[in-house]
Structure 1
Amino acid sequence: MTTLRRRVLAAALSLTAAVGGLMVVGTAHAQAVSTGSLSFHGDSGDYISQGKSYSYATSRGDELTVSSSSGSTVSISVNAYNGDWWTLTFDAPGTQVLAPRTYSAAHRHPFNGTGPGLSLSGEGRGCNELTGSFTVSKAVFGPDGYVQAFDATFEQHCEGGNPAARGEVHISNRPPPSGAATKPSATTKPRATTASPRATTAKPRPTTASPPPATASPPPATGSPQAAAAGPHAALDSSPSATPAGGGTTAADDTDVSIVAVARNVTFSPLLLIGVGLVGLAGLLTLGLAVGVVLYVRVR
């Protein structure tokens, strides 16, 4: 009965930890790995590996994804061709960025506090408590947590035991897209261009309104001076370009409003998705805790 109780608690804690870990790195962007591999093996008695060896690679049809929280946390997920699934996470101390060196005295992520964090779990198995270490040999990050390259080895022990799981991971991706930072400006340029024809079409309106002053002007001029007076009126007709400028300003204002609206929509959509994701994850967390409590009460 005691063993069954421990297993029930372990399952509930594993589910809770998994959901909590997803909420911590919820803002990280997962990306498909172009070229990568993950392999590990365990000692006899290691709960995670069950004393077996595992090896996965994109070259063999296995799907690997990687996500990072500004280079501080790197998480690799494996969806293998044979149906296996694993998650491996490395976390630098505090808010540091993972860099090539050895991180000792690592504890289970995401409960590692200000120290280094580590976690290998999958196939329904995870450590309640974890100690270990890992060595990062290569780490290249791009903007917004983009992982271009990441190589590391690790060793972890569950529940403070001597049996260990040991392995290594290698990630290689293309350089981050250079056009990502220029997308907003590329979007606004066509709108500014389409706004200019409005200013052009607005110009004829002041021209049609200008003849009435021309007909009212002849009384002060007599005879041939009217021809001379036509010159000033022509100048006045050309000067009202200030009036079309008002029309052009209105078009530009409309364009600015459109640009602001588009920017708000672009910003709002990811925030909405993230918010919905966090609400869903919070529901899973509550469900995991409820299931653990119910199972624990029944076992008792």
Structure 2
Amino acid sequence: MNTIAEAVIPSAPGAGSGDAGTGTDSGTEAGAGTDQGTVPDTGAPIAPNSVRLQSDSGDYVGGGKHYEYSRANSLLTLQAKGGHLSVRVTGDESWFADFALPAAMTKVQPGTYANLLRYPFHNPVTGGLSWSGDGRGCNKLTGSFTVSSVSYVGDVLKAVELSFEQHCEGRAPALHGQIHWNADDLSVALGPVDPPPASLWAPAAGQTPATGNYVYISSDPGDYIGGGKTSVYTPDTSLVGVSESGGRLSVQADGWSGTFVTMNSVTQLQPGYYGGLNRYPFNNPATGGLNWSGMGRGCNTLRGWFVVDAVTYVGTTLKSIDLRFEQHCEGLTPALHGKVHWVF
């Protein structure tokens, strides 16, 4: 199931736009355009890179939803080769896009490129496009895209503003999109929220051992993974192990396996709340991920969070960790909760 990214992105100066719900290809025939060259350094702040999608009701690819992405909530990559742009968005959803200018153009140039078919099955004389993702794409499409501004340093693309409109299978509902990209954007995902929200689950007093290393698991009735049971695993009674590498904590406990991963802007576990997480390793890299499975049971999809209550490192070596988590399978209410206390 798709979830809509929650972050609100400031408007990108000069971004092109499509009129939602028109159901027709907009724009005129592609003109030659001109290379704008290098944009002068004015000292003004750089607007964060962003991708915005607006899907009409009935559009198959976007599902009639609105999506907004920046480096704060997703991993955005853009590559240019000659007159071809490829874009990838990896967030709570994953999208793939290609924009091909007419074959005669060796660089991306401003202009509107209309009456296009699906890349890579398009007419190379006119160009092509394709936007797909999350298991959905057009078999056939028509559309257009507009490059409203572009800059290069030599042959290296430095910035581009692009908007597009795409129709699947000859239908009127459209997917509209805007892309703002600048190679100098150094923005990154925010770190964990510290202090964490006070309302989050924590084991009640007396439910966990007073001393020593342990892994505590508590499953609600109806939770598929834990089967509604509560268990405590310690090195004296169970085969238990904890390890960490580059912000990824791995936990093993008598057939159970847990993984907790930070957002891509953080290379070590830090105190705080990591929320809105999906299943590792299919998680949004800008938010982090988690997964607890074992005994032949696991979630196909999940949502959850974890909190690092305390952590210590010596250099890059983890020395101690206190972590608690909550996991929901398949969008259901019953949860699996757990706490890990470990000192190396």
TM over 0.5: no
Which structure has the greater CA radius of gyration?
1
Query: Going by fraction, where is helix more abundant, 1 or 2?
Result: 1
User: Normalising by the residue count of structure 2, what TM-score does the alignment of the two structures yield?
Assistant: 0.38
The structure in which a higher percent of residues are strand is 2
Given the two structures, how large is their TM-score scaled by the length of structure 1?
Answer: 0.43
Which structure is higher in RCO with an 8 Å CA cutoff and minimum separation 6?
A: 1
